[in-house]
A and B are shown apart, each in its own frame.
Chain A
Protein backbone atom coordinates (compact mmCIF):
# COMPACT_ATOMS: atom_id res chain seq x y z
CA UNK A 1 0.00 0.00 0.00
CA UNK A 2 1.34 3.47 -0.81
CA UNK A 3 1.94 5.83 2.09
CA UNK A 4 -0.90 8.04 0.97
CA UNK A 5 -3.34 5.13 0.82
CA UNK A 6 -2.11 3.81 4.17
CA UNK A 7 -2.79 7.22 5.77
CA UNK A 8 -6.20 7.44 4.17
CA UNK A 9 -7.23 3.95 5.20
CA UNK A 10 -6.08 4.49 8.76
CA UNK A 11 -7.96 7.84 8.91
CA UNK A 12 -11.10 6.12 7.68
CA UNK A 13 -10.77 3.15 10.02
CA UNK A 14 -10.31 5.50 12.96
CA UNK A 15 -13.61 7.22 12.11
CA UNK A 16 -12.34 10.47 10.55
CA UNK A 17 -15.55 11.66 8.94
CA UNK A 18 -14.01 14.64 7.19
CA UNK A 19 -11.51 12.35 5.46
CA UNK A 20 -14.41 10.24 4.22
CA UNK A 21 -16.34 13.33 3.08
CA UNK A 22 -13.33 14.57 1.13
CA UNK A 23 -12.98 11.23 -0.61
CA UNK A 24 -16.68 11.12 -1.46
CA UNK A 25 -16.48 14.63 -2.92
CA UNK A 26 -13.30 13.86 -4.83
CA UNK A 27 -14.23 10.54 -6.42
CA UNK A 28 -18.02 10.56 -6.74
CA UNK A 29 -18.15 12.68 -9.93
CA UNK A 30 -15.96 10.17 -11.80
CA UNK A 31 -17.93 7.32 -10.23
CA UNK A 32 -21.18 8.84 -11.48
CA UNK A 33 -19.68 9.04 -14.94
CA UNK A 34 -18.76 5.35 -14.89
CA UNK A 35 -22.12 4.30 -13.41
CA UNK A 36 -24.01 6.25 -16.06
CA UNK A 37 -22.26 4.29 -18.80
CA UNK A 38 -23.80 1.08 -17.41
CA UNK A 39 -27.25 2.03 -16.14
CA UNK A 40 -30.11 3.81 -17.80
CA UNK A 41 -31.21 6.52 -15.42
CA UNK A 42 -29.40 9.14 -13.45
CA UNK A 43 -31.20 7.96 -10.30
CA UNK A 44 -29.85 4.41 -10.79
CA UNK A 45 -26.36 5.83 -11.25
CA UNK A 46 -26.66 7.68 -7.93
CA UNK A 47 -27.85 4.41 -6.33
CA UNK A 48 -24.88 2.52 -7.73
CA UNK A 49 -22.46 5.13 -6.38
CA UNK A 50 -24.14 5.04 -2.98
CA UNK A 51 -24.03 1.23 -2.85
CA UNK A 52 -20.39 1.34 -3.85
CA UNK A 53 -19.44 3.65 -1.00
CA UNK A 54 -21.33 1.42 1.44
CA UNK A 55 -19.46 -1.61 0.05
CA UNK A 56 -16.19 0.31 0.44
CA UNK A 57 -17.00 1.00 4.12
CA UNK A 58 -17.92 -2.65 4.62
CA UNK A 59 -14.76 -3.85 2.93
CA UNK A 60 -12.35 -1.37 4.46
CA UNK A 61 -11.33 -3.68 7.31
CA UNK A 62 -10.19 -6.30 4.79
CA UNK A 63 -8.55 -3.87 2.31
CA UNK A 64 -5.00 -5.13 1.77
CA UNK A 65 -3.72 -2.60 -0.72
CA UNK A 66 -2.94 -4.97 -3.60
CA UNK A 67 -4.40 -2.24 -5.81
CA UNK A 68 -4.64 1.44 -4.90
CA UNK A 69 -7.65 2.46 -2.84
CA UNK A 70 -9.03 4.32 -5.86
CA UNK A 71 -8.64 1.37 -8.22
CA UNK A 72 -10.18 -0.94 -5.62
CA UNK A 73 -13.13 1.43 -5.18
CA UNK A 74 -13.68 1.74 -8.93
CA UNK A 75 -13.49 -2.03 -9.33
CA UNK A 76 -16.31 -2.39 -6.79
CA UNK A 77 -18.20 0.33 -8.63
CA UNK A 78 -17.88 -1.38 -12.01
CA UNK A 79 -19.09 -4.67 -10.53
CA UNK A 80 -22.09 -3.01 -8.90
CA UNK A 81 -22.92 -1.10 -12.07
CA UNK A 82 -22.58 -4.16 -14.30
CA UNK A 83 -24.81 -6.18 -12.05
CA UNK A 84 -27.47 -3.54 -12.37
CA UNK A 85 -26.62 -2.59 -15.91
CA UNK A 86 -28.73 -2.95 -18.97
CA UNK A 87 -26.54 -4.97 -21.30
CA UNK A 88 -24.13 -6.63 -19.01
CA UNK A 89 -23.93 -9.85 -21.01
CA UNK A 90 -23.56 -8.16 -24.37
CA UNK A 91 -20.10 -8.50 -25.88
CA UNK A 92 -19.13 -5.16 -27.30
CA UNK A 93 -16.94 -5.45 -30.39
CA UNK A 94 -13.59 -3.71 -30.22
CA UNK A 95 -13.66 -0.44 -32.11
CA UNK A 96 -11.28 0.59 -34.84
CA UNK A 97 -10.74 3.98 -36.42
CA UNK A 98 -11.31 2.66 -39.92
CA UNK A 99 -15.04 3.41 -40.05
CA UNK A 100 -14.81 6.78 -38.31
CA UNK A 101 -11.70 8.62 -39.50
CA UNK A 102 -10.32 11.59 -37.58
CA UNK A 103 -10.90 13.89 -40.56
CA UNK A 104 -13.04 13.23 -43.64
CA UNK A 105 -11.08 11.51 -46.44
CA UNK A 106 -11.88 14.50 -48.67
CA UNK A 107 -9.49 16.60 -46.53
CA UNK A 108 -6.56 14.74 -48.09
CA UNK A 109 -5.07 14.60 -51.61
CA UNK A 110 -6.01 11.51 -53.58
CA UNK A 111 -3.85 8.88 -55.23
CA UNK A 112 -3.52 10.86 -58.47
CA UNK A 113 -1.82 13.72 -56.62
CA UNK A 114 1.99 13.83 -56.25
CA UNK A 115 1.40 14.00 -52.46
CA UNK A 116 -1.36 11.47 -51.80
CA UNK A 117 -2.67 11.42 -48.21
CA UNK A 118 -1.41 14.94 -47.46
CA UNK A 119 -3.67 17.87 -46.58
CA UNK A 120 -5.41 19.60 -49.44
CA UNK A 121 -4.43 23.23 -49.19
CA UNK A 122 -8.09 24.27 -48.76
CA UNK A 123 -8.80 21.61 -46.11
CA UNK A 124 -5.97 22.20 -43.63
CA UNK A 125 -7.23 22.71 -40.07
CA UNK A 126 -8.04 26.41 -39.66
CA UNK A 127 -6.75 28.60 -36.84
CA UNK A 128 -8.89 28.51 -33.68
CA UNK A 129 -7.70 31.86 -32.40
CA UNK A 130 -6.52 32.55 -28.85
CA UNK A 131 -6.91 29.85 -26.21
CA UNK A 132 -9.37 31.99 -24.18
CA UNK A 133 -11.77 31.56 -27.04
CA UNK A 134 -11.49 27.77 -26.86
CA UNK A 135 -12.28 27.98 -23.14
CA UNK A 136 -15.02 30.63 -23.42
CA UNK A 137 -18.41 29.96 -21.89
CA UNK A 138 -19.90 29.46 -25.34
CA UNK A 139 -17.19 26.98 -26.35
CA UNK A 140 -17.52 25.03 -23.11
CA UNK A 141 -21.28 24.81 -23.59
CA UNK A 142 -20.61 23.34 -27.05
CA UNK A 143 -18.15 20.87 -25.54
CA UNK A 144 -20.70 19.86 -22.90
CA UNK A 145 -23.29 19.30 -25.63
CA UNK A 146 -20.84 17.23 -27.69
CA UNK A 147 -20.03 15.10 -24.62
CA UNK A 148 -23.71 14.51 -23.92
CA UNK A 149 -24.20 13.22 -27.45
CA UNK A 150 -21.27 10.80 -27.38
CA UNK A 151 -21.98 7.08 -27.28
CA UNK A 152 -21.75 5.98 -23.61
CA UNK A 153 -18.46 4.16 -23.97
CA UNK A 154 -16.73 7.07 -25.67
CA UNK A 155 -18.15 9.53 -23.18
CA UNK A 156 -17.05 7.60 -20.13
CA UNK A 157 -13.50 7.14 -21.45
CA UNK A 158 -13.17 10.83 -22.35
CA UNK A 159 -14.55 11.92 -18.97
CA UNK A 160 -12.36 9.55 -16.98
CA UNK A 161 -9.22 10.51 -18.88
CA UNK A 162 -9.72 14.20 -19.59
CA UNK A 163 -11.93 15.36 -16.70
CA UNK A 164 -11.12 13.02 -13.84
CA UNK A 165 -7.47 12.33 -14.62
CA UNK A 166 -7.53 8.54 -14.44
CA UNK A 167 -4.59 6.89 -16.20
CA UNK A 168 -5.19 4.81 -19.30
CA UNK A 169 -4.31 1.70 -17.26
CA UNK A 170 -6.95 2.54 -14.64
CA UNK A 171 -9.58 3.17 -17.31
CA UNK A 172 -8.80 -0.19 -18.97
CA UNK A 173 -9.10 -1.94 -15.64
CA UNK A 174 -12.33 -0.25 -14.53
CA UNK A 175 -14.10 -0.71 -17.86
CA UNK A 176 -12.48 -4.09 -18.62
CA UNK A 177 -11.29 -3.00 -22.08
CA UNK A 178 -7.97 -3.39 -23.89
CA UNK A 179 -5.46 -0.51 -24.11
CA UNK A 180 -6.01 -0.39 -27.87
CA UNK A 181 -9.78 -0.12 -27.47
CA UNK A 182 -9.41 2.48 -24.75
CA UNK A 183 -7.32 4.61 -27.09
CA UNK A 184 -9.78 4.30 -29.97
CA UNK A 185 -12.70 5.30 -27.73
CA UNK A 186 -10.72 8.25 -26.38
CA UNK A 187 -9.61 9.35 -29.84
CA UNK A 188 -13.13 9.15 -31.28
CA UNK A 189 -14.66 10.98 -28.36
CA UNK A 190 -12.05 13.75 -28.45
CA UNK A 191 -12.46 13.94 -32.22
CA UNK A 192 -16.18 14.61 -31.90
CA UNK A 193 -15.50 17.31 -29.34
CA UNK A 194 -12.88 18.77 -31.68
CA UNK A 195 -15.33 18.82 -34.58
CA UNK A 196 -17.86 20.68 -32.48
CA UNK A 197 -15.26 23.24 -31.40
CA UNK A 198 -14.01 23.61 -34.97
CA UNK A 199 -17.54 24.28 -36.22
CA UNK A 200 -18.01 26.93 -33.53
CA UNK A 201 -14.60 28.60 -33.77
CA UNK A 202 -14.01 28.54 -37.53
CA UNK A 203 -17.58 28.36 -38.80
CA UNK A 204 -16.64 25.38 -40.92
CA UNK A 205 -17.29 21.70 -40.40
CA UNK A 206 -14.20 19.59 -39.91
CA UNK A 207 -11.37 22.03 -40.26
Chain B
Protein backbone atom coordinates (compact mmCIF):
# COMPACT_ATOMS: atom_id res chain seq x y z
CA UNK B 1 0.00 0.00 0.00
CA UNK B 2 1.15 3.47 -0.80
CA UNK B 3 1.12 5.87 2.11
CA UNK B 4 -1.87 8.12 2.61
CA UNK B 5 -2.07 11.23 0.47
CA UNK B 6 -3.61 14.58 1.43
CA UNK B 7 -7.27 15.20 0.63
CA UNK B 8 -6.39 18.30 -1.39
CA UNK B 9 -4.33 16.33 -3.87
CA UNK B 10 -2.88 18.39 -6.75
CA UNK B 11 -2.99 17.21 -10.37
CA UNK B 12 0.80 16.90 -10.34
CA UNK B 13 0.64 14.54 -7.35
CA UNK B 14 -2.31 12.62 -8.69
CA UNK B 15 -0.81 11.65 -12.06
CA UNK B 16 2.03 9.79 -10.29
CA UNK B 17 -0.55 7.68 -8.40
CA UNK B 18 -2.56 6.49 -11.38
CA UNK B 19 -0.90 3.10 -11.83
CA UNK B 20 -1.29 2.38 -8.11
CA UNK B 21 -4.92 3.55 -8.44
CA UNK B 22 -5.59 1.22 -11.39
CA UNK B 23 -3.97 -1.67 -9.44
CA UNK B 24 -6.17 -0.92 -6.44
CA UNK B 25 -2.98 -0.58 -4.39
CA UNK B 26 -3.86 2.69 -2.64
CA UNK B 27 -5.01 2.71 0.96
CA UNK B 28 -8.73 3.60 1.34
CA UNK B 29 -8.09 7.22 2.32
CA UNK B 30 -5.81 7.86 -0.67
CA UNK B 31 -8.24 6.12 -2.96
CA UNK B 32 -11.03 8.42 -1.77
CA UNK B 33 -8.77 11.44 -2.30
CA UNK B 34 -8.03 10.32 -5.87
CA UNK B 35 -11.71 9.55 -6.58
CA UNK B 36 -12.71 12.93 -5.17
CA UNK B 37 -10.20 14.78 -7.30
CA UNK B 38 -11.04 12.82 -10.46
CA UNK B 39 -14.74 13.54 -10.04
CA UNK B 40 -14.29 17.18 -10.97
CA UNK B 41 -10.98 17.39 -12.83
CA UNK B 42 -11.30 16.81 -16.60
CA UNK B 43 -7.52 17.01 -17.08
CA UNK B 44 -6.84 14.18 -14.65
CA UNK B 45 -9.76 12.14 -16.01
CA UNK B 46 -8.06 12.34 -19.36
CA UNK B 47 -4.66 11.41 -17.88
CA UNK B 48 -6.29 8.31 -16.37
CA UNK B 49 -7.99 7.41 -19.61
CA UNK B 50 -4.72 7.85 -21.54
CA UNK B 51 -2.88 5.52 -19.16
CA UNK B 52 -5.63 2.91 -19.54
CA UNK B 53 -5.60 3.28 -23.31
CA UNK B 54 -1.81 2.91 -23.34
CA UNK B 55 -2.06 -0.36 -21.43
CA UNK B 56 -4.77 -1.54 -23.84
CA UNK B 57 -2.60 -0.65 -26.85
CA UNK B 58 0.31 -2.58 -25.32
CA UNK B 59 -1.98 -5.59 -24.95
CA UNK B 60 -2.91 -5.33 -28.64
CA UNK B 61 0.70 -5.55 -29.87
CA UNK B 62 1.92 -8.82 -31.32
CA UNK B 63 3.60 -11.29 -29.00
CA UNK B 64 6.75 -13.10 -29.90
CA UNK B 65 6.32 -16.85 -30.40
CA UNK B 66 8.92 -19.49 -29.68
CA UNK B 67 11.08 -20.52 -32.64
CA UNK B 68 9.28 -23.47 -34.33
CA UNK B 69 12.47 -25.57 -34.21
CA UNK B 70 12.78 -25.05 -30.44
CA UNK B 71 9.11 -25.93 -30.06
CA UNK B 72 9.61 -29.14 -32.03
CA UNK B 73 12.63 -30.06 -29.85
CA UNK B 74 10.49 -29.63 -26.76
CA UNK B 75 7.72 -31.85 -28.09
CA UNK B 76 10.32 -34.49 -28.89
CA UNK B 77 11.76 -34.22 -25.40
CA UNK B 78 8.25 -34.65 -24.02
CA UNK B 79 7.68 -37.81 -26.07
CA UNK B 80 10.99 -39.29 -24.92
CA UNK B 81 10.08 -38.77 -21.27
CA UNK B 82 6.43 -39.59 -21.08
CA UNK B 83 5.82 -42.26 -23.69
Contacts and interface: CB of A to CB of B under 8 A. Distances in A.
Given A57-B77, A140-B57, A97 B16 contact: yes
Contact of B75 (A21, A33, A134): A21
Sorting the interface of chain B by its residue count into under 10, 10 to 19, 20 to 34 or 35 or more gives: 35 or more
A105 interface: yes
Contacts of A25: 65-66, 71
Contacts of A32: 64, 66
27 contacts: A15-B78, A17-B79, A20-B75, A24-B71, A24-B75, A29-B63, A33-B64, A46-B70, A53-B77, A101-B15, A108-B11, A116-B10, A118-B12, A119-B41, A124-B43, A125-B46, A125-B47, A134-B57, A135-B60, A139-B57, A163-B59, A168-B25, A183-B20, A183-B25, A186-B19, A190-B19, A193-B57
B58 A190 contact: yes
Interface in B39-83: 41-44, 46-47, 50-51, 53-67, 70-71, 73-75, 77-79, 81-83
Given A126-B46, A128-B53, 7 more contacts: A14-B82, A21-B71, A21-B75, A46-B66, A50-B74, A103-B47, A124-B46
A17 B47 CA distance: 47
A163 B19 CA distance: 16
Interface in B1-33: 2, 10-13, 15-16, 18-20, 23, 25
